[in-house]
């Protein structure tokens, strides 16, 4: 009996290697072979995916914030728990590949009254059994169980990649929230300084108006500029507070005991990141790898759906001892066994199996579309960041020159007004344009830094803490955005 069961299990193990799942072929990337913008690619440069976030973000305060976010962010914690959930589901599913053996021990006593007994007198019977049981083990001749296990494994790996993608997004979101807070802080300081300087100008204008040296129009123009600066300060203050709230949520704990903050204009960041080719994204982006694992899972489910059309064979067996007396369980001649193979051949199921197969195939088509879309989204994100990279460098420089020109204009207008050559309207207009240029410079600096963060994220950077050394490559030197 044991020989028969052993041979059946060995045969099941050999035949379970058979799978009816379609052969997986990775879909072609639905994007161009190269980005539309020339990349500063260099084979000797470290890829973004190998650049640690501590090397990319050199601000000590930002480094602490990112480290705390990775440790405490609740969304990232849920993503990690999803991995544990998927791993448990895979372990449950893969357990069906092996037989389940149980030790069974039963005992019963029953009394049959004389009125229904065959002997005409009451009978008390006993039955005791101890043995090893094999519970409904499916012989996976057509790979149904194997396909379900493969699908569960791919789902687990997809969840793992999704967690990595969540960390990359978290690192970039913390960085952008911090840079936004720094931008609003600079705008608030700039507006406060402008307001304080305009308070003095307004006092002088009011004195001139009271002695008849200037008109009410000049006084109201000065007052309008004064309140404009005040309104800008209050707006920046509100935006800064909201940015701090967003940063606190991302970090997952109160923002205390942090290193001193650096000004936005003092931020150093890696700008010369090689983008490589679009095909590199398939290995660099965890979200693309996650989508492909989902596709693999859907492909394996087709194999399970196809196998449902074929016979399903399962074994139930038991080996042990039986006796009508507890003391006689292990005496000679008490051995007992049972062997109950079962064959289920689907004949008519009202189209259920066909529907399940169609469903599996449609879900695979959906997974293919999602996989291709994830590649297209990644291609667009990198392309957008590359387009903006060089142009934003030029825009920052142009805006800096605009600010310098407006500062000179304001100085000359003030001198001409003091000498009686220009009117107060010229001074007010120059002052207003200078303030606008200063705010615009802060905003374009923020846009440039945010673009660098977006390029780093879109190329898969943010998973490792420190740069992975790859000879002969060296970590690119940080470039200060002025």
Confidence of residue 330 (pLDDT cuts 50, 70, 90): confident
More confident residue, 378 or 270: 378
Distance CA 262, CA 179 (A): 10
Closest CA to 287 of 373, 190, 162: 162
Q: Which pLDDT score is estimated for 480?
A: 41
Mean pLDDT value of segment 272-280: 84
Distance CA 240, CA 261 (A): 14
Domains and CATH numbers, the chain: 28-98+142-309+354-480 (1.20.1600.10)
Helix (H, G, I), strand (E, B) or coil at 348: coil
Closest CA to 13 of 143, 152, 133: 143
The answer, yes or no, to whether residue 37 has pLDDT greater than 80, is no
Distance CA 135, CA 114 (A): 38
| Tens-digit pLDDT profile for residues 237-250 | 999 999 999 999 99
Q: Which helix (H) or strand (E) holds 335?
A: strand 335-344
By the 10 Å C-beta count (0-12 exposed, 13-18 middle, 19+ buried), 471 is classed as exposed
Region for 315 from its dihedrals, namely left if φ exceeds 0, alpha if ψ lies in -120 to 50, beta otherwise: beta
Question: How does DSSP classify residue 476?
Answer: P
Q: Which helix (H) or strand (E) holds 318?
A: strand 312-323
| Tens-digit pLDDT profile for residues 220-268 | 877 888 888 899 999 999 999 999 999 999 999 998 889 998 888 888 8
User: pTM of the prediction?
Assistant: 0.83
Distance CA 46, CA 19 (A): 41
């Amino acid at each position: 009996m044991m020989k028969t069961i052993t041979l059946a299990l060995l045969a099941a193990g050999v035949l379970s290697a058979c799978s009816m799942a379609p052969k997986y072929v990775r879909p072609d990337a639905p994007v161009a072979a190269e980005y539309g913008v020339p990349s500063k690619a260099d084979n000797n440069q470290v890829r973004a995916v190998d650049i640690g976030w501590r090397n990319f973000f050199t601000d000590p305060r930002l480094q602490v914030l990112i480290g705390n976010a990775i440790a405490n962010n609740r969304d990232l914690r849920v993503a990690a728990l999803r991995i544990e959930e998927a791993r448990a589901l895979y372990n449950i599913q893969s357990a069906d590949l092996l037989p389940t053996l149980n030790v069974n021990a039963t005992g019963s006593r029953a009394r049959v009254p004389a009125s229904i007994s065959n002997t005409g007198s009451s009978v008390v019977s006993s039955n005791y059994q101890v043995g090893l049981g094999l519970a409904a083990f499916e012989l996976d001749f057509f790979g149904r169980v194997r396909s379900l296990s493969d699908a569960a494994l791919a789902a687990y790996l997809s969840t793992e990649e999704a967690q990595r993608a969540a960390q990359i997004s978290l690192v970039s979101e913390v960085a952008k929230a911090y840079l936004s807070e720094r931008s609003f802080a600079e705008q608030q300081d700039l507006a406060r300084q402008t307001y304080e300087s305009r308070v003095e100008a307004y006092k002088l204008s009011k004195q001139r108006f009271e002695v008849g040296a200037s008109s009410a129009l000049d006084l109201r123009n000065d007052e309008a500029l004064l309140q404009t600066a005040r309104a800008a300060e209050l707006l920046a203050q509100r935006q800064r507070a909201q940015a701090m709230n967003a940063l606190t949520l991302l970090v997952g704990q109160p923002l205390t005991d942090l290193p001193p903050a650096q000004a936005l204009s003092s931020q150093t960041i890696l700008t010369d990141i090689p983008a490589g080719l679009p095909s590199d994204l398939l290995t660099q982006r965890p979200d693309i790898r996650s989508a492909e694992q989902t596709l693999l899972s859907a492909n394996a489910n087709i194999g399970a759906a196809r196998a449902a059309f074929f016979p399903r064979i399962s074994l139930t067996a038991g080996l042990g001892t039986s006796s009508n007396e507890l003391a006689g369980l292990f005496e000679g001649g008490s051995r007992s066994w049972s062997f109950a193979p079962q064959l289920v051949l689907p004949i008519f199921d009202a189209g259920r199996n066909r529907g399940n197969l169609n469903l599996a195939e449609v879900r695979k088509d959906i997974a293919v579309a999602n996989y291709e879309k994830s590649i297209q989204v990644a291609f667009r994100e990198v392309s957008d960041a590359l387009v903006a990279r060089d142009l934003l460098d030029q825009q920052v420089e142009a805006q800096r020159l605009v600010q310098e020109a407006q500062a000179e204009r304001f100085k000359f207008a003030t001198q001409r007004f003091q000498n009686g050559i220009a009117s107060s309207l010229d001074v007010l207009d120059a002052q207003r344009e200078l303030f606008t240029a200063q705010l615009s410079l802060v905003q374009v600096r923020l846009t440039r830094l945010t673009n660098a963060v977006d390029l780093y994220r879109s190329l898969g950077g943010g998973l490792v803490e420190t740069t992975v050394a790859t000879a002969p490559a060296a970590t690119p030197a940080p470039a200060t955005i002025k």
